[in-house]
Structure 1
Amino acid sequence: MKASDEDLLELVQAVLDGRQTYRSAASELGVVRSTIERRVKGLVRRLFAAGMLGSFREEWIDDIATLRREREAILGAARVFRGSVAGRCVSVPGQSELALAATRLREKGGAGHRDAALICVLFDTGMKTIELARLEVADYLAEDGSVREVSKLRAAVAVNGVERPLHFSSQLVVESIDAYLAERTRRMQGLGDPARYRGLDPNSRLFLTDSGQPFLITARSPSDPRPACKYLQATLRQAFARAGWPGMTARRLRRHVAITMNRQGATRGEVQQMLGLKANRSVKRLTSTLPARADSQMVPSE
């Protein structure tokens, strides 16, 4: 392993052995807590994706107590991991590939309409999964049923609690959401007054589960009270795989949006506002690795 790889392995071992917490390791290295947490969890995610952790379950990654319980398996896999600790590259599709994938997913009917809309919205907005789960019909539709091309991601929806602009100006995004809402109406999911909001309840979630229920939002783990939507995360993984992009995640598409905005001349402040980032340094982190090609962009795993 390279020196930097050895440093990361030592850091992971210190945290999993209980000799360090995320916070104490961050203090020692002069960085913020989230940086250490991201590096440790990032390595575990790559080992999991490589199939090197046996019966390890992906949701365990967010629970430090479980990671410590599984430390022998994690550290053993990390020592023999042949991939770069910095992460492998995952191809982000271009607009033409996205349109074809959306068509393929919609042709499946049912959940295919929803899945096509989900990935199109993520591709266009860089929204976080939890924000996607919180969106409501009225965030997308006006009372007369027209699309709110210029909307707002409400403070109650945004992860950082700060309202920010939300645009539904992409034809592909609008077509995908409209097709899904038509399917929702046909399946009688989340209906309201027939004369308003295309007959949908404006306060119902924009995206629903297969059975027509909101995606459940819970704490990440018993030791981490931050909200998470694991069912939607799993739904997205399946949607990406069916679209032909196994390994793709909402986080990578978020980075793709940041990189695209940066290449198109957006300021750091504009990227920060668009993605709801808390700190300007987060923009630098997201845009630090430029894609290789304009239409098939290579984005490192996190």
Structure 2
Amino acid sequence: MTQLLLKIALKVEGRPLSNSELWDQLVSRNCGRNTELRHRNKLLILLAAVAGLREIELTFVTNRLFISPEGELNEIVVLPEQIARDGFERPIVLSHPELMKAFEAYFRWLIKNKINCYPHKHYNGLDPNAPLFVDDSLKAFNTQSRGNSISPHSMNKLLDSFIKKANLWDNGVRRISLIRTCVVEMYRNGASTTDIMIITGFSEESIKHILTMDYVQLSPIYDWFEQRAELKLKRLESFKKRRRFML
């Protein structure tokens, strides 16, 4: 029963990732040394799964949000309402050490390859108004108009390809899993529901739903089945011993 419970949890579509799935599969398999765009790939994944940025936000964020005119990385930024998913600005915390390392490596890569650079000393020579991320052709990601809204079509396809390359698609992982992973990790690290609401833009009900999707959150149920199995084995062993004395 315990194994069945875990299998069910791992098959829930859009479920959060476990820690090992994020680092040992999603990051590792898309950011290897022989991957030309590994620095971009890693920063994309971490901004989604650690900082909670959505696809449309990853498409439109610019360099100036993350780096100061003096060339220093910002640890807290405010997503402007013009690009935020729901049209409401919100703060984003970037102090995770691996995320900061990913930023530094990606900016060095941009400067080395003279991508979106200007001949000036401000912003370490980067164009502050250029999109942070470039696609596989080293150009800005394309979008598609859908009525009154804009779809980050190219970004969606790229993130889907990351998940499939990590062999996580058939195990229920989708793009929404990345932001849900951010919610779970914030909660595990002691963030209040209010803090998570402010940073992710999710409602309290959505956050509760995400936490219940995380199979680690099902541990009380898992423990109950585990303890029941152990008690059953102990009863069997006890019965065997009594039988020996009864013969």
Could you say whether these structures have the same fold, taking a TM-score greater than 0.5 normalized by the shorter chain as the test?
yes
Q: Distance in 2 between matches of 1:197 and 1:106?
A: 28
1:191-202 aligned within 5 A: 191-202=117-128
Contact 1:102/1:117 (CA < 8 Å) preserved in 2? no
1:1-302 aligned within 5 A: 87-88=12-13, 92-94=17-19, 98=23, 102=27, 105-220=31-146, 224-246=147-169, 248-277=173-202, 279-292=203-216
Share of identical aligned residues, percent?
21
Distance 1:168 1:250, change over 3 A: same
Q: Distance in 1 between matches of 2:14 and 2:201?
A: 25
Contact 1:237/1:249 (CA < 8 Å) preserved in 2? yes
Return the offset for 1:135.
Answer: 0.9
TM-score, with normalisation over the residues of structure 2? 0.72
Return the offset for 1:158.
Answer: 0.7
Q: Distance in 1 between matches of 2:66 and 2:14?
A: 33
Distance 1:219 1:282, change over 3 A: farther
* Aligned match of 1:32: none
Return the offset for 1:265.
Answer: 4.3
Distance 1:229 1:87, change over 3 A: same
Q: Distance in 1 between matches of 2:22 and 2:156?
A: 22
* Aligned match of 2:223: none
Aligned residue pairs: how many?
207
Return the offset for 1:153.
Answer: 1.4
| Structure 1 spans left out of the alignment, 5+ residues | 1-82, 295-302
TM-score, with normalisation over the residues of structure 1? 0.60
SS at match of 2:133: coil
Return the offset for 1:127.
Answer: 1.6
Larger Rg: 2
Q: Distance in 2 between matches of 1:139 and 1:99?
A: 29
Q: Distance in 1 between matches of 2:123 and 2:32?
A: 22
SS at match of 1:282: helix
Which structure has greater helix proportion? 2
* Aligned match of 2:243: none
Distance 1:172 1:155, change over 3 A: same
Q: Distance in 2 between matches of 1:180 and 1:128?
A: 19
Distance 1:185 1:122, change over 3 A: same
Q: Distance in 2 between matches of 1:177 and 1:290?
A: 28
Higher normalized contact order (CA 8 Å, seq sep 6+, divided by chain length): 2
| Structure 2 spans left out of the alignment, 5+ residues | 1-7, 219-247
Distance 1:286 1:108, change over 3 A: same
Contact 1:98/1:120 (CA < 8 Å) preserved in 2? no
Cα deviation code 1:89-143 (max 9, x no counterpart): 8671417962786466151243222111111111111221111111110111111
